[in-house]
Structure 1
Amino acid sequence: MDRRQFLKYSGFFTVSVASTALTACGGSSNNTDTTTAALPAASGGSWIFPQSIASGDPRPDSVVLWTRVVPASAGIASVAAAGNDVSIRLVVTAADNSSALGSNAALSGTAVVDTRLPVLASFDNTVRNKVTGLQPGTVYFYQFVAGDVRSNVGRFKTAPAAGADLSQLQFAYLTCQDWSVNHWGAFDYIAKNENLDFVVHLGDYVYETVGASFQTGSVEARHTALQLPDGTVLNDANGKATTAKYATTTNDYRYLYKMYRSDPRLQAVHERFAMIATWDDHEFSDDAWQDAVTYENNSLDSAGNNVRNTTRRRSANQAWFEYMPADVNLDNANTTFQNIQIYRDFQFGKLMQLVMTDERLYRTDHVVPENLMNPATGKPLNSSLGSRYIVPKDVFDALEGQKVTAATAMTGNPLTNTSMLGKTQRDWWKGKMSAATATWKVWGNEVSLLRMGLNGTDAIATLIALNSVSTLASSITGALANPALQGNVLVASALVAAVTAGASQQVAAGAGIAIATADAMSGNPLSAATSAGLTATQAGIAVAAYNAAKTAAPAGTATQVGAAAQTIAFGFIKPDVQANKQNSQFVIASGQQAALSSFFTRFLLNCDQWDGYNAERKALMQFLQTSKISNVVAITGDIHGFFAGTVNTDFDAANGGTPVMVDLVSAGISSDSFFTYLKDGAGSTGLATIIFWPLTIPVPNIGNVTINVNLLDYTMGKAAPTVDDLAEQIRVQLTGALAAKGVPEGATLTGTVAAVLAGLKTNSDFNTSLVGLAQQLSALNSNPWMKHINADAQGYTVVTLTPGKLVAQFKQVNKLVNTGSMTAPANVIARITTATVNAGTAGLTLS
């Protein structure tokens, strides 16, 4: 911070210098500026620290310390009263006070800082002090004191010296902690169990909406409903007012931070670990870009463009600045919405350079506008569907190409109108990556860099084929009653296959018998089938169905019928749909031709993330490749699921281009999952089966338990499951469903889950039909660069970094328990999946 900025914020962002001549705790103050000296010292015992304390942005010689203090009568989320400015005391020591963590016991040991700091109502009674002159790689403890009242004890660790050789670094990264759904048990687990050097937060620290449709699920009882002091009514997709509101004023945004930070479990994490934070969209507005908002039918002007709200954006900026312990500047003399810069970098010895970006404040509008005409309706989209989510790839590619061409002609910069970072930040990012001397270059990246695409034609063809299997099986069973077939399931299978391919019943029956005769006489079944009147295509599928039934003969008639039915479905019906799309006879027969007609194309699932800024992503990846910059790993949030894969030079090139770096995406702490959102959106469409499968399981002494099996993972490209794999995938959901039914945690719940899964694995509907469905969806091979997909999860990620490898543990948490009280589970961690990136490779392995 330069002198001018320091003077501007000397009443709020103060700076203290650690003393080399140590004084005992309780000694006289030092480093007190003139603003503080003019304020009365807080006195007496009527003070509280309702949001506790926090530290952030650890560097080798500095850290930012934070608190908020108010009169005890004011309450947790009260608005600070003007004219009541006071000063409080800050003490920092290097003495070990570990036993005092979680308490307000007085710090022991000698102090390196003992100073007074201002508490100003104009900044909502928050305090933000940068301590400099610290020793690198050192653990310090700190405490604020207001009158006779002490805050809880805090701890932080400074970064190692820039040239230090480190054998290991360990940190967690977090994202998406919606107060209003699920639980915050993960924070409790982190505070009590993780041994970390620091924590990274990748955004969505608060959610600006209260009562929105995605926030109406179950939530732990201790998280009471939020009530914005001002707020603006949020309209639904039809423009009708709802009971939901979104933060609009500075007081609204401050309220959210005050309430979120009032949870003692989040406080405990802040008390124990310094945090390096950036924001994503919900600190301002969902899917925001610059100062523009994107709520459906609540944020479009008469021309169909996103409404820009500079005042609201500045309010969000100020609240973030006040409540996050980040070493950044806010310039209120700057009247634009870009009055704050939060992108910055950190070096941790020779081991890691951490580059934190801001992917909201400078990004251009989404490539596909909401006012684009929907060819299916002839009206503007006016929706996130088609513009930001489930976007036709050909539409996106055409529009981005037009913007790139126009920008090149007008400015010479092809990315002027299609950028996530903006030119200044993009050049800064390149410079940091080029100059980095550390082994690992870790990118604190808000939204996923991974291509998440879907071939709609292949998906629908698979769906239509799957839906036909039971009908085909019934037809084969019915054909067995034909006297001419004499109950021969092989011939019946050939007959149904030929009829499905367009042959008449009479010709198909004769061909089936001819195939069987040729098989028995060691002849050529294909030639026999065509000689009996079938076309080459009809003969091919008839013989394939015959052979499938023959191979399955040892397992019995039912298995033979099922095998033949699947052969016909995926050997003929699926290719027919792929070739003829909505004009396929099987699409027409399904009765869904009109509903499915617009889905016969390739889609990008989420164009609010880097898939929506593809030209810039390619430019960044090609820069890394050309510059020979290796060991680049992005740590990412936003999308509410665990994903891992390679980021390639050009996902549209043959084989998806060349891998350049790795993206490790963490699920949200509590926000509902990506799977949940798509499940709710797909429930009434013909595509529901490629997203989820409702499975009702009878459980003795409990009743029926229904879970929605996550098939989205396989549709997106997860490896084909075995029976055991699919059973393991539903374990967390099943555990949550049984806990919600009142099955007590512990041995009873664990045993019940094990028994139910064991029974499922012997059920043919599960071990054959459902597993087969997942395997067929996986075979779409939609995103081969993605090596791990878990789109239905909450949790966080812990990274252990050494010179030779980066190991990321994706820690998925269990669901809420106890229907009556809705509490976080005592057994928080449900599953750990490990991704390993070896130095020198742009790839990863999973275990």
Structure 2
Amino acid sequence: MTHSPLPRRRFLALGGVAAGAAIFAADPASATSAASNDRITLPGYAFTLGVASGDPTPDGVVLWTRLAPDPLAGDGLGGMPHRVVNVRWEVAEDERFRHVVRRGVHRATPDWAHSVHAEVHGLRPDRVYWYRFRVADQVSPVGRTRTAPRPGAALQSLTFAYASCQAYTDGYFTAYEHMAREDLDLVVHLGDYIYEGGGAGTIGRAHLPATETFSLTDYRIRYAQYKLDPALQAAHAAAPWVVAPDDHDVENNWAGDHSQPDTEPDQDPAVFRLRRAAAYQAYYENLPLRAASMPRGPEMQVYRRLRFGDLLQLDVLDTRRFRDQQLTDQSLRWDPKRQMLGAKQEAWLLAGLGASTARWNVLGNQIFAMEADHTDGEPETFGMDTWDGYAAARQRLFDGVARRHVENFIIITGDAHRSVAADLKLDFSEPRSRTIGTEFLGTSISSGGNGTDMDALGVTWLAENPHMRFHNSQRGYQVCHLGRREMYTDYRVVPFVNAPNALVSTRARVHVQSGRPGVAHVSA
């Protein structure tokens, strides 16, 4: 993208009313429709959970907030009265709101925990905007967002970050503090926004509620706890996000209508669907998703496609809802009937990749697609929750990419709490096999604790999997820089997460050349 010269802001002070305390521009229509709010009495500041934006299009974006003056209230409703509340929103071309270009009113209902998902249209493409909300006499923090470029617009560059896995009990979200200062067009979150388990951890960040989440109330309180983190709020306020859930947003290692096989093997699928419905609803209530992704009971539209000029097609996947259960016998992983994406999503993905005219075709993927032999020597062993447990489904995808001559095929992935850059092979058993693309596996924000530069599994992976070109197991996030001739990913890491205030550094820069699939070189 071509960037406007902008003063860079430190969004870490966005938790209080002062960040959004400029006078709201007058608008008679909005004032009339929201007049009843002028008399509403709230028990405290309503915007404690911050603001966010997401899923940008060339003419708009979705704006999010959730009213919660008492965010950890035991009923999960954030201390709000049980009534519909009109929330006003504004979008401006400047951060002091001298030039407001769009405004409106969103009805926040108790049924959806007074969350706001305002879908704004009529904005200019490829442009930075600022936004804020108001209820009664209270004004929210100010957020910064950006619309997507026009379809087919010739772009010279685009920069996005991606992240996953932020266990509150395992560490501080310091990585987000640094991400908020990056000059980003977009942030992609690949799942495990919350963790469903109970426990106190060892650093004084105990989960609320203290036990595992099952009910809608449980999930609402857990999200409120996570979203109170100022670094996470800062990253949301700094750029638009594109989000997709993984397992811990519901429960560990769930698959389709089945709960995890290791601890709840006999759970009735009907009971699990009730739990998934609660988890999906809380996920939607707390993230900047469009109405198209609003859950209907245990169903939610997660997979979708976003385009950014002629430079990027981003296909966001759902690798949980339509998969078969994980295997207990890895000899069956090549069963051609087994599904990871489900037939409908798989066909949608391959059709979209085949029709793409973008320079870079990126999949936002929750669990790694590369083969990963976990054992030194023989026999080979593979994780059954990743694409390795669905090897035939992976082969169908890779064969489809090859047949359609998809250019510059990139997969970005979370979940594994470690970083790897790898060549994607048509046949992983043959190192000289054709390379069809590149996978950038990204580490966790905090899950797994401090981490190290290299661990025993990393040594094994690099030795047993020649398609892996880089490995690191520290915490952090990744920044992808897309250009017309090259893209590169910076692996940004922090040395510790068991205490705040860690500095960030670039552990490695991994390059891919346009038209030449696979890792070109690594600058460490």
Give the TM-score taking structure 1 as reference length: 0.56
Is 1:249 paired with 2:215? yes
**Which of these residues, 462, 471, 474, is aligned with residue 789 of structure 1?**
471
Q: Tell me how far 1:113 sits from its aligned partner.
A: 1.9
Q: 1:293, 1:308 within 8 Å by CA — same for their partners in 2? A: no
Q: 2:220, 2:282 within 8 Å by CA — same for their partners in 1? A: yes
**Which of these residues, 423, 443, 467, is aligned with residue 667 of structure 1?**
443
Which structure's relative contact order is higher, taking Cα pairs within 8 Å and 6+ residues apart?
Answer: 2
Distance change in 2, residues 1:453/1:435 (3 Å): same
Q: Tell me how far 1:638 sits from its aligned partner.
A: 0.5
Q: 2:37, 2:135 within 8 Å by CA — same for their partners in 1? A: no
Name the structure 1 match of 2:458: 713
**Which of these residues, 245, 248, 265, is aligned with residue 279 of structure 1?**
245
Q: Tell me how far 1:342 sits from its aligned partner.
A: 1.2
Distance change in 2, residues 1:53/1:454 (3 Å): closer
Distance change in 2, residues 1:708/1:840 (3 Å): closer
Is 1:835 paired with 2:516? no
Name the structure 2 match of 1:89: 88
Secondary structure at the residue paired with 2:231?
helix
Name the structure 2 match of 1:451: 371
Name the structure 2 match of 1:321: 284
Distance 1:141 1:259 in 2: 26
Distance 1:166 1:364 in 2: 40
- Report the AA paired with residue 386 of structure 2: Q
Secondary structure at the residue paired with 1:128?
strand
- Report the AA paired with residue 54 of structure 1: A
Q: Tell me how far 1:446 sits from its aligned partner.
A: 0.8
Q: Tell me how far 1:25 sits from its aligned partner.
A: 1.9
Q: 1:806, 1:837 within 8 Å by CA — same for their partners in 2? A: yes
Name the structure 2 match of 1:690: none
Alignment of 1:87-236 (within 5 A): 87-94=86-93, 96-97=94-95, 107-191=96-180, 193-211=181-199, 216=201, 218-219=202-203, 221=204, 224-228=205-209
- Report the AA paired with residue 227 of structure 1: L
Distance 1:630 1:60 in 2: 24
Q: 2:117, 2:290 within 8 Å by CA — same for their partners in 1? A: no
Secondary structure at the residue paired with 1:602?
coil
Q: 1:301, 1:307 within 8 Å by CA — same for their partners in 2? A: no
Distance change in 2, residues 1:268/1:667 (3 Å): same
- Tell me the alpha carbon deviations over residues 405-452 of structure 1, each in whole angstroms, 9 at most, x when there is no partner: xxxxxxxxxx3xx11100010001011101111111011011111111
Is 1:353 paired with 2:353? no
Q: 2:374, 2:457 within 8 Å by CA — same for their partners in 1? A: no
Distance 2:424 2:506 in 1: 25
Moved more, 625-634 or 305-314: 305-314
Is 1:602 paired with 2:380? yes
Distance change in 2, residues 1:430/1:77 (3 Å): farther
- Tell me the alpha carbon deviations over residues 361-390 of structure 1, each in whole angstroms, 9 at most, x when there is no partner: 111111x2xxxxxxxxxxxxxxxxxx3xxx
Name the structure 2 match of 1:615: 392
- Report the AA paired with residue 612 of structure 1: G
Q: 1:47, 1:147 within 8 Å by CA — same for their partners in 2? A: no
Q: Tell me how far 1:455 sits from its aligned partner.
A: 4.8
- Report the AA paired with residue 28 of structure 1: P
The structure with more strand, counted as a fraction of residues: 2
Distance change in 2, residues 1:307/1:144 (3 Å): closer
Q: Tell me how far 1:122 sits from its aligned partner.
A: 1.2
Distance 1:263 1:29 in 2: 35
Distance 2:129 2:251 in 1: 36
Structure with max Cα Rg: 1
- Tell me the alpha carbon deviations over residues 611-638 of structure 1, each in whole angstroms, 9 at most, x when there is no partner: 1110011111111111111201011100
Name the structure 2 match of 1:270: 236
Distance change in 2, residues 1:649/1:59 (3 Å): same
Distance 1:310 1:39 in 2: 38
Alignment of 1:293-312 (within 5 A): 293-294=259-260, 296=262, 298-301=263-266, 309-312=272-275
Q: Tell me how far 1:126 sits from its aligned partner.
A: 1.1
- Report the AA paired with residue 784 of structure 1: P
Distance 1:162 1:42 in 2: 45
Consecutive unaligned residues of structure 1, counting only runs of 5 or more, are 1-23, 98-106, 229-243, 369-386, 388-394, 405-414, 459-599, 677-706, 718-780, 817-821
Distance 1:837 1:804 in 2: 9
Secondary structure at the residue paired with 1:318?
helix
Distance 2:522 2:403 in 1: 28
Q: 1:91, 1:113 within 8 Å by CA — same for their partners in 2? A: yes
- Report the AA paired with residue 330 of structure 2: F
Q: Tell me how far 1:801 sits from its aligned partner.
A: 0.5
Name the structure 2 match of 1:27: 27
Q: Tell me how far 1:836 sits from its aligned partner.
A: 0.4
- Tell me the alpha carbon deviations over residues 96-139 of structure 1, each in whole angstroms, 9 at most, x when there is no partner: 21xxxxxxxxx421222222221211111111110011110011
Is 1:289 paired with 2:255? yes
Distance 1:815 1:89 in 2: 40
Alignment of 1:497-646 (within 5 A): 601-604=379-382, 606-646=383-423
Q: Identity of counterpart residues, as a percentage?
A: 30
- Report the AA paired with residue 396 of structure 1: Q
Q: Tell me how far 1:151 sits from its aligned partner.
A: 0.5
Secondary structure at the residue paired with 2:217?
helix
Name the structure 2 match of 1:736: none
Name the structure 1 match of 2:46: 48
- Report the AA paired with residue 488 of structure 2: V
- Tell me the alpha carbon deviations over residues 37-84 of structure 1, each in whole angstroms, 9 at most, x when there is no partner: 7965564674421101110011101201011124x4x34455325633
Q: 1:294, 1:306 within 8 Å by CA — same for their partners in 2? A: no
Distance 1:250 1:188 in 2: 29
Q: 1:208, 1:283 within 8 Å by CA — same for their partners in 2? A: yes
Q: 1:178, 1:670 within 8 Å by CA — same for their partners in 2? A: yes
Is 1:812 paired with 2:493? yes
Distance change in 2, residues 1:655/1:163 (3 Å): closer
Alignment of 1:738-817 (within 5 A): 781-790=463-472, 792-816=473-497
Secondary structure at the residue paired with 1:245?
coil
Distance change in 2, residues 1:119/1:328 (3 Å): closer
Distance change in 2, residues 1:86/1:711 (3 Å): closer
Name the structure 2 match of 1:396: 330
Name the structure 2 match of 1:342: 302
RMSD across aligned positions (CA): 2.5
Q: Tell me how far 1:273 sits from its aligned partner.
A: 0.7
Q: Tell me how far 1:655 sits from its aligned partner.
A: 2.8
The structure with more helix, counted as a fraction of residues: 1
Distance 1:292 1:31 in 2: 48
Distance 1:356 1:313 in 2: 20
Number of aligned positions between the proteins: 495
Secondary structure at the residue paired with 1:83?
coil
Distance 2:412 2:317 in 1: 11
Distance 1:364 1:796 in 2: 30
Name the structure 2 match of 1:432: 352
Distance 1:837 1:154 in 2: 33
Distance 2:31 2:137 in 1: 21
Distance 1:132 1:87 in 2: 19
Q: 1:42, 1:86 within 8 Å by CA — same for their partners in 2? A: no
- Report the AA paired with residue 267 of structure 1: Q
Consecutive unaligned residues of structure 2, counting only runs of 5 or more, are 1-23
Is 1:66 paired with 2:64? yes
Distance change in 2, residues 1:255/1:75 (3 Å): closer
